[in-house]
Amino acid sequence: MNILSSVGSFGFLTLISRVLGYFRDILIAIFLGTSFLADAFFVAFRLPNTFRRLFAEGSFNSAFVPQYSKLDIQKKAYEFANSVFNLLIFFLLVLVCVAEVFMGGVVYIISPGFIENAEKYNLAVTLSRIAFPFLIFVSLSSFYSAILNTKGRFAVAAAAPIILNLLLIASIFYAKFFDKELVYFMAWAVTLAGILQLIMLATYAKKYFIPKISFNFKISPEVKRFFKRLLPSIFSSGVMQINILVGTVIASFQTSAVSYLYYADRIYQLPLAITGIAIGTVILPSLSKEIFQNKDGNNFFLQNRSIELSLFLSAPATVGIIMATEPIISTLFGYGSFDLESVRQTSKALFVFGFGLPAFSLLKIYSSFYFARGNTKFPFYISVLTVIINILISIILFNRLGFVSIALGTTISCWCAILIYQFFLLTNGMHKFDKIFATRVSKIFVCSFIMSSILSFLLFKFQFAFEHGSIHKIFSLTVIVGISASIYFLLSILFKSFSIKDFKMKNYDTK
């Protein structure tokens, strides 16, 4: 399998989904801005969307793929997969039913500040009840995605979330055209999207797996091992989403803060789709097979190249976000109800998140090194520590910095996690840097520094083009980003800071 090709296809489709999600958010920003309606919808959407990211972007794969890959080699995979599928249906139905009954309490837990505004709180509860069944469908979709990923089929799983964004965009236009309640249509679109995603993935996966529905559960040792790994995997794979959820809780005490953080989150999630999520998802099946077959040389080689690729892609994105924070927010969201104050406040959060982008990306990859070995406990412990650090920083600095403390807590806590991961990987002999790595990373930083100088010059020369409300800023930002990115990649080719052939399995070597 060509790893880079798989990363490219998975990342490209995930990026399309994120771009459509950004377009969706532009429409929300124009029609709702940072009003109480926006806050209520974002809280309602945050809950099922957090589960979507938790399941679809790593946690289910992390527990399922290594075990399924091993059993697949031994021709014992079907019974294991079918038992997991039936148990998932049962647990999800119970969970959703309980949540629907006690949704008022659930919303209070994730946004306690809303209780001071009865209208906003009640709206958030109603919207959450409409959207929460999405959890059932997205979880089962993740099951089918894991089956496909194990077979080296990544594109369909990456394309599935596109349905969600297309339906949300359609619901916004429909509601505005017919003068309907916008937020209610968007909530219904979330649940409908989950149903369509599940149908699509089940159709594509039927070549490899067709379930037999039965609640006469046969819980084998393999199934027990899977569920024992799943819960810590959900927490450890989804540490970024858990941090965001924690941030929502704290931000609910400051007017419009939930919206500021949401819009900032949407920006850095665009590059994260490729720099961390795509790479971590694609390398997991390959790492699992290399480890199962005791090929440490290939395993270390793949680990180093995946870290390189993440840094190669996240470095220019980090520089761009940090240096062009306000022009980015102004260009992407600064229209209609999203006023100048909203641009400035959202820019503050994005600026801090920008420093954490490399760490956010590497978290997905470093945790995969453990998941490939069937170890979900250690990443779980790291994630618990990360969330604790995040909460402490966010709360301690909240009175002084407001919602910016939440972005700061997320960034610092994730960098702490990276340092801990790297220390224990090296200490336990689970990772070893090679000579190529040090050379290429040095070249990546040189190329990024040169790009930053050019970007700084272009932003200074075109600063007049980013006035609030000006339509010309779209063209200006596109030109600036295009020139800067082109120079970075040309420099990378010139300095040979990246090699495509390293990601073809047949070209692995252990030097």
Which of helix, strand or coil describes residue 295? coil
pLDDT at 505 over 60: no
- Give me 111's structure tokens: 């946004």
Three-state DSSP string of 8-36: HHHHHHHHHHHHHHHHHHHHHHHHCCCCH
Arithmetic mean of pLDDT, 300-319 = 89
Q: Are 507 and 3 in contact (CB under 8 A)?
A: no
Secondary-structure breakdown of the chain: helix, strand, coil percentages, each rounded to the nearest 5? 85, 0, 15
Arithmetic mean of pLDDT, 374-389 = 86
Work out whether the CA dihedral 46, 48, 54, 56 comes out positive or negative. Answer: negative
For residue 342, being part of any structural domain is answered with: yes
For residue 153, being part of any structural domain is answered with: yes
Residues 6+ positions from 459 with CB-CB distance below 8 Å? 323, 324, 327, 480
Q: Are 120 and 177 in contact (CB under 8 A)?
A: no
For residue 492, being part of any structural domain is answered with: no
**pLDDT tier at 67, thresholds 50, 70, 90:** confident
The least confident of 84-88, 151-155, 177-181, 229-233 is 177-181
Beta bridge partners of 2: 504
Q: In the chain, pLDDT over 90 holds for what percent of residues?
A: 22
**Model pLDDT for residues 92-101, shown as the tens digit of each residue:** 899 899 989 9
**pLDDT tier at 173, thresholds 50, 70, 90:** confident
Look up the pTM and report it. Answer: 0.73
Closest by CA to 200, choosing from 232, 161, 172, is: 161
Residues 268 and 280: their CA atoms lie apart, in Å, by 17
**pLDDT tier at 508, thresholds 50, 70, 90:** very low
**Model pLDDT for residues 176-209, shown as the tens digit of each residue:** 776 567 888 888 998 999 999 999 999 998 888 8
- Give me 509's structure tokens: 């070597």
Q: Are 147 and 205 in contact (CB under 8 A)?
A: yes
**Model pLDDT for residues 239-294, shown as the tens digit of each residue:** 666 777 777 778 878 877 878 888 888 888 888 877 777 787 777 777 777 777 76
For residue 143, being part of any structural domain is answered with: yes
For residue 115, being part of any structural domain is answered with: yes
Q: What is the pLDDT of residue 56?
A: 54
**Residue 270: domain span:** 3-433
For residue 445, being part of any structural domain is answered with: no
For residue 212, being part of any structural domain is answered with: yes
**Model pLDDT for residues 434-476, shown as the tens digit of each residue:** 888 889 999 999 999 999 999 999 988 887 777 655 667 888 8
Domains identified in the chain, total number: 1
Angle between helices 296-323 and 257-272 (to 10 degrees): 130
For residue 329, being part of any structural domain is answered with: yes
pLDDT at 506 over 60: no
